[in-house]
Structure 1
């Protein structure tokens, strides 16, 4: 009798709860974790389930303990795997090695998650590469992949494997015009961080529009410029900004005008030696991306601040001419970091160049140079 009474009471509470307006339900949900929302509300009426559908579509498994993690895996496997559009997994505590556990629980992966569009893997170990990367070419709806690797890893092995994956697994790589088509590939956004600096081989791709990657030098940068036909956004961490190798220079000279016409937003950071890469050589690299609208860079040098006094990199007219040459450029932000004190080797933001170009017909250019050494408030405005 007591069990029947409890069951009846729960049913009455559930029915009363189901009558609440959506606005009240959403306020309640804002105070709960996704785990508690799914666990508590999953078996209630259709209207309420529609209200909380976003918590089934966008799954974030970070910060779950092992019991909560297995509960979510069970729900995905048997209840709403078809609804899942986005998943975030992390190897960080408390669910250590979550990436391996998830693959073991969700199998067959493509059958349980056929509509997955976004996959984020955090603190990825280098011994887990074969768990997820092979799925990229067979998940028919995957649009975005983000992988962040842990700091303690074998960078040599990881860099080699990632480079091979880029060329063999899902990105076209044959030399133009011998292009291979992979009609099933849908990936548009790719972010690989913590890989170590990659040395790329020639690649070709027609789907990726957003790319975040770590690469060795300028040659690898040009390979990206010339290999990704529809790239719009590029965020790069370069080990070294260098002069182009003679082989790549010859390749560019022997081809018709090689340009990445689709790229409009380019951001990068790199170490570089201004005495080895002139400002004109720096500009010649950018000429490959003539339709640039937003450009941001951070240049780090071991050169002492005083040695920059006569450098073209802090010449206002050089930057003004750059803005004039790039007809679509709207925003430019360049920070130069150098050694403030040779005795302790500390870095400083020596100079920051910020330019805003109006969209009007006169294309007026407003450039500021900020000197950030002894007096952080000192500014020269042109």
Structure 2
């Protein structure tokens, strides 16, 4: 029932289907099911498209219990894509296993795509074990996998389960860079996975990629992410060609990835049509020399080529000379050079990668770059200065950034010759300010320019500074639903206690609160208890996590909750106490 401006009463059922569908676009699939499913046949039919794509995450304990027991068994046949997310609490996946563990193939019989976010390795293994005989399930996405009691041999078993899941019916697997890196042991008789056609995977070393390519004879698309340099890489070993591979995306996060290592992969890809290479750090000059590079690519049947390399030299770099070596390529190249002329970021235009990490030493020269970086979704700024306005030039280039991380390390504070203004950052949703202090005027402009920001990671001193400004408080109150606070030993305890006691008054829409308390216990009554006393004031709060507790403080919290719980109904919330941590799922 909705009351209109002229005081007449409008019933939801009187709205046309188009309006109901429009309303549903602003709600999560869980909210739609919980609020509308089962009210009448028409509403069930109208929202049927919503529950074809079900997201289980960011949901309260009581609500997920009700949906799992009363609704999902009725609609499971219609679910085509399912996401299980432990982003706020790992109990989501545990509750899912309680209700559906051995019935996944029966309840979700028409499932096509399964996405698992922030699961632990043991829970992931349990879910995969129950994926059997699902005739439509061909895609598995694993994001932000957490390591828990697993060694190298355990990783090999888990890998085999992943590639062989659902009776080897999967043809696409995505395993992202936020997960634990995987190691692949070279075996005399390795398992072959002919079913896999498309793969994104995060590996420890280049050797792991070579071992994996040997096991994927039908692979067509592979996006490989490497964490470390291959210090023991065998340059003389001959590897078989992967004839089916037509698209290769190779991202190296390790130090000093070199040209010969890259060539060892390219020599296996004779039929490649799309090639994307991103190397975050190297000192190999061959990787920025287009003449040398061209001779090895000329034999390939490339239709698309994307390139980005972050190069460091012991001597000054001549930007024009480097760019001149790439003129023979059909793509346009450009590069950024650092203030000291010893660092270079070389890239094809447009940049075709989603993540960019850049040091403050490059910021002054950004204004000379004409092109925008519209495809960058995640931006990390190292050595970012106190004056946030000094990084506005790169934000002007990355207008579609979603994740923005400031990694300060005490480098110089830049002084701009003219005032910078910031564009609208309509896509920005996650902001991490890991700094001891930030300049208030530019930080206010950053918040004002980010209307869809909801996730804030912040050091306590930065938060304390923000909460001293009423104009910023108004913005935080309206937008932030996920708050991560980092407290360290040097922080003033009294300021911490005062700020913590204000959280519910400022962050009224909070869904998740995480406090990393790297400081002495102090007084339990003056710091931790005020947090628990505010729980009932957050009507939307789903989870609370406090990390950095001593054994004694954990025991104190457990006892306090037992005696003074703000939730009176039995089984109304779940509390966990893993090492040094207290977790509540409300």
Counterpart CA distance in 2 for 1:296 and 1:352 is 20
Match of 2:534 in 1: none
Instruction: Confirm or deny: 8 A CA contact 2:138 2:169 kept in the other structure.
Output: yes
Instruction: Confirm or deny: 8 A CA contact 1:120 1:146 kept in the other structure.
Output: yes
Match of 1:162 in 2: 155
Deviations 1:325-370 (A, max 9, x none): 22224122122254899xxxxxxxxx998x999xxxxx96234141
**1:101 maps onto 2:95 in alignment:** yes
Instruction: Confirm or deny: 8 A CA contact 1:148 1:192 kept in the other structure.
Output: yes
Match of 1:295 in 2: 275
Displacement of 1:246: 5.0
**1:210 maps onto 2:170 in alignment:** no
Counterpart CA distance in 2 for 1:273 and 1:207 is 34
TM-score between both structures, scaled by the size of structure 2: 0.49
Which runs of 5 or more residues in structure 1 are unaligned?
A: 1-12, 173-181, 342-350, 358-362
Q: How many residues align?
A: 326
Deviations 1:143-166 (A, max 9, x none): 221223455x347x2553232233
Match of 1:229 in 2: 217
Instruction: Confirm or deny: 8 A CA contact 2:53 2:79 kept in the other structure.
Output: yes
Match of 2:291 in 1: 317
Match of 2:365, SS?
A: coil
Question: 1:52–1:133: structure 2 CA closer, same or farther, 3 Å change rule?
Answer: same
Counterpart CA distance in 2 for 1:41 and 1:352 is 61
Instruction: Confirm or deny: 8 A CA contact 1:158 1:195 kept in the other structure.
Output: no
Question: 1:171–1:38: structure 2 CA closer, same or farther, 3 Å change rule?
Answer: closer
Structural mapping, 1:71-150, within 5 Å: 71-93=66-88, 95-106=89-100, 107-149=102-144
Match of 1:264 in 2: 247
Quick one: which of 15, 18, 28 aligns to 1:33? 28
Match of 2:228, SS?
A: strand
Deviations 1:205-239 (A, max 9, x none): 22222212222322221223232233232222223
Instruction: Confirm or deny: 8 A CA contact 2:235 2:264 kept in the other structure.
Output: no
Which runs of 5 or more residues in structure 2 are unaligned?
A: 1-8, 316-320, 340-363, 371-586
Match of 1:160, SS?
A: helix
**1:376 maps onto 2:365 in alignment:** yes
Structural mapping, 1:174-213, within 5 Å: 184-193=167-176, 194-201=179-186, 202-213=190-201
Question: 1:18–1:134: structure 2 CA closer, same or farther, 3 Å change rule?
Answer: same
Match of 1:55 in 2: 50
Counterpart CA distance in 2 for 1:108 and 1:161 is 25
Displacement of 1:184: 4.3
Counterpart CA distance in 2 for 1:356 and 1:20 is 60
Displacement of 1:248: 8.1
Name the structure, 1 or 2, with higher relative contact order (CA <8 Å, separation 6+). Answer: 1
Instruction: Confirm or deny: 8 A CA contact 1:57 1:84 kept in the other structure.
Output: yes
Counterpart CA distance in 2 for 1:197 and 1:352 is 35
Question: 1:183–1:273: structure 2 CA closer, same or farther, 3 Å change rule?
Answer: closer
Question: 1:246–1:56: structure 2 CA closer, same or farther, 3 Å change rule?
Answer: same
Counterpart CA distance in 1 for 2:72 and 2:333 is 56
Aligned Cα root-mean-square deviation (Å): 3.8
**1:242 maps onto 2:235 in alignment:** no
Quick one: which of 311, 323, 328 aligns to 2:302? 328
Displacement of 1:44: 4.9
Counterpart CA distance in 2 for 1:312 and 1:79 is 60
Counterpart CA distance in 2 for 1:49 and 1:259 is 49
Match of 1:376, SS?
A: helix
Match of 2:514 in 1: none
Question: 1:196–1:160: structure 2 CA closer, same or farther, 3 Å change rule?
Answer: farther
Quick one: which of 249, 257, 262 aligns to 1:282? 262
Instruction: Confirm or deny: 8 A CA contact 1:56 1:80 kept in the other structure.
Output: yes
Instruction: Confirm or deny: 8 A CA contact 2:241 2:269 kept in the other structure.
Output: no
Displacement of 1:77: 4.3
Moved more, 132-141 or 78-87: 132-141
